[in-house]
Amino acid sequence: MSSSTPFWNLVVAGGGPAGFMAAITAAEAGLDRVLLLESTPEPLGKVRISGGGRCNVTHACWDPRELVGHYPRGGRALRGPFSRFASGDAVAWFDERGLELVEEADGRLFPRSNRSSSVIQTLREAAGRAGVVVQTHTALQRAEALPAGGFALALRCGDDAPSLQCQRLVLATGSHPSGRRLAQALGHGLVPPVPSLFTLAFRPNPLLVLAGVSQDPVGLDLELEDPLPGSAGRAAHTAGLPRRFRQQGPVLITHWGLSGPATLRLTAFAARALHHGGYHATLRLDWSGGRSQAELEQLFALCRQEQARRQLSNARPWPQLSRRLWLHLLDQQGADPELRWADWPRRQERALIAALRSSCYAVAGRGPFGEEFVTAGGVPLGEVNLATMESRQVAGLHLVGELLDVDGVTGGFNFQHCWTSGWLAGQAVAAARGH
């Protein structure tokens, strides 16, 4: 290494959750001269805005075998990493540093303060105590692996372009294109990134009058349209991607289409197929939450018997069915909501049951505003030793977080992968110092 160039034992490029975890873990394990670079004025920006400003730190899914099922890409490969550092370990890690996490009814874990700033404060204080130097407004521009080991780095810092050298380098740049370029320049391949965790748009939206309505549970059955010759959809077909996806859970009807946890989970698993198919598909919704034809017929018969004198508008077949949705479905079948249950024509009842079990909508794209937080794609996992997060292409290079071809569904799972991969990289870097 050149004596005239600043030298660091570890440089972490990217001040997000994975980068902070890697830097803190290495420094707490005894590694000195650890530098963390963040291109923006404030690190941990995604932590700050996640969960509506509350930060869903992880999920109460304690068994690694179950945990991997929440990752559309990378799930099976993560079994090993999660056996070493999973959700329970993340909860304990934050607790040891003064941040208590509280479990909500759906399994999501938030800081007791309900403020993402508490998570940021915990990470920044831990980094400070461990001796990590955090340098903001500074981006890693280029990285060159040196023949004798280590890396020569060129930075971008305002109008300046300083250089430095390091023994080990962790790329924790998230989904930012700069990190992918750095990884490719160092010899890594790249699975092309596509959006994940997004809402679905209907054009026109036949549910517009129901904007704001939530329903749980709803069954979602998404089927990609038949591809046209030479189209992007044909590419999806020839790539062997699945063309049908199913989920069940809460949905939220919006002005443009459909959102809510079940929709986000569906689009996470269908992300790549939807992208190749141009975001055109058929979506069938089971508003009944999985009730069979016979079960619905029995519910309706009970209403005819016990609610005979009540109007359809005032007596739904089960109380959890949204009244606005019920009235909409009645209207779609041409039923008079002021009719009494006893007077309701059987043919309309049969049509209504069919609509409850399978209403069909044309998906015409993603929801607006680019609300997706996550991308599917990145450095292939086969190019990384998942026990240490070290590159199989370049010795001393570690890749963590969303830069990898790993993504989870909503609920704290993407952050958990960041904590796990960052911790593994930090441990490995500190252990390598003695060799």
Residue 67: its H or E element: helix 64-67
Dihedrals φ, ψ of 195, to 5°? -65, 145
| Percent of the chain clearing pLDDT 70 (strictly above) | 94
pLDDT in tens, 184-202: 999 999 999 999 999 999 9
- In this predicted structure, the answer to whether residue 234 has a pLDDT above a threshold of 90 is no
Q: Which two tokens stand for residue 177?
A: 């294109």
pLDDT in tens, 310-347: 999 999 999 999 999 999 999 999 999 999 999 999 99
Per DSSP, the residues of 17-43 read HHHHHHHHHHHHTT---EEEE-SSSSS
Give the mean pLDDT of the chain: 93
Question: What is the SS3 assignment for 312?
Answer: helix
pLDDT in tens, 291-302: 999 999 999 999
- In this predicted structure, the answer to whether residue 1 has a pLDDT above a threshold of 50 is no
Q: How far is CA 315 from CA 305, 324, 353, in A?
A: 12, 12, 15
pTM above 0.85, yes or no: yes
Q: In terms of Cα–Cα distance, which of 11, 14, 10, 83 is closest to 401?
A: 14
pLDDT in tens, 37-52: 999 999 999 999 998 8
Per CATH, is 7-194+373-432 categorized as 3.50.50.60? Answer: yes
Q: Where in the chain is the domain with CATH 3.50.50.60?
A: 7-194+373-432
Q: What is the DSSP letter of 334?
A: T
Question: What is the SS3 assignment for 386?
Answer: coil
- Label residue 434 by pLDDT band (50, 70, 90): low
